[in-house]
Amino acid sequence: MKLLEQLVLTPGVPGREHRVRKLIQSQVKGLFDEVRTDALGSLICVRKARPKPRSGGGSPSKKKPLRVMLAAHMDQIGFMVRHIDDNGFLRVNAVGGFDTRNLFARLVSVCPDVNDPKKDLPGVMNPGGKPVHIASPEDRKKVPELEDLAIDLGLPAAQVKKKVKLGDMVVLQAPFQKVGQTVVSQCMDNRIACWVVIEAIKKLAKAKHHSCEVHCVFTVQEEVGLRGAGTAAYGIEPDVGVAIDTTLCCDTPGVPSELRVTEQGQGAALTVMDGASIADLSLLEEFESVAKKSKTPHQRSILPRGGTDAGAVQRAAAGARTFTLSCPTRYIHTVTEMVHQTDLNACRDLLAAYLAQA
Ligand SMILES: [Zn+2]
- Rounded to whole angstroms, the Cα distance separating 230 from 124 reads 36
When pLDDT is averaged across residues 129-150 and rounded to a whole number, the result is 78
- Rounded to whole angstroms, the Cα distance separating 321 from 298 reads 21
Give the pLDDT band of residue 230 (cuts 50, 70, 90): very high
Q: How far is the CA of 223 from the centre of ligand 1 (A)?
A: 7
Q: How far is the CA of 73 from the centre of ligand 1 (A)?
A: 7
Return the percentage of the chain with pLDDT > 70, whole number.
98
What are the extents of the domains in the chain? Answer: 2-76+186-357, 78-172
Mean pLDDT, the chain, rounded, equals 94
Q: How far is the CA of 196 from the centre of ligand 1 (A)?
A: 13
Q: Which residues are catalytic?
A: 222
CA distances from 190 to 150, 206, 292 (A): 26, 25, 26
| Cβ neighbours around 296 below 10 Å, total | 21
Query: Is pLDDT above 90 for 24?
Result: yes
On whether the pTM is more than 0.85, the answer is yes
Q: How far is the CA of 55 from the centre of ligand 1 (A)?
A: 43
The lowest-confidence range among 1-10, 66-75, 138-147 is 138-147
Predicted confidence at residue 147, as pLDDT, reads 85
Predicted confidence at residue 146, as pLDDT, reads 84
Query: Is pLDDT above 90 for 54?
Result: no
Query: Is pLDDT above 70 for 60?
Result: no
Predicted confidence at residue 62, as pLDDT, reads 73
pLDDT tens string 232-268? 999 999 999 999 999 999 999 999 999 999 999 999 9
| Cβ neighbours around 19 below 10 Å, total | 18
Give the pLDDT band of residue 165 (cuts 50, 70, 90): very high
Number of H helices, E strands in the chain: 9, 17
pLDDT tens string 261-318? 999 999 999 999 999 999 999 999 999 999 999 999 999 999 999 999 999 999 999 9
Residues 6+ apart with CB under 8 A from 40: 220, 221, 227, 228, 231, 232
The CATH label, of 3.40.50.720, 3.30.300.20, 3.20.20.150, 3.40.630.10, for the domain at 2-76+186-357 is 3.40.630.10
CATH architecture of 78-172: Beta Barrel (2.40)
Q: Which residues are found with C-beta within 5 Å of the ion, ligand 1?
A: 189-190, 245
When pLDDT is averaged across residues 191-215 and rounded to a whole number, the result is 96
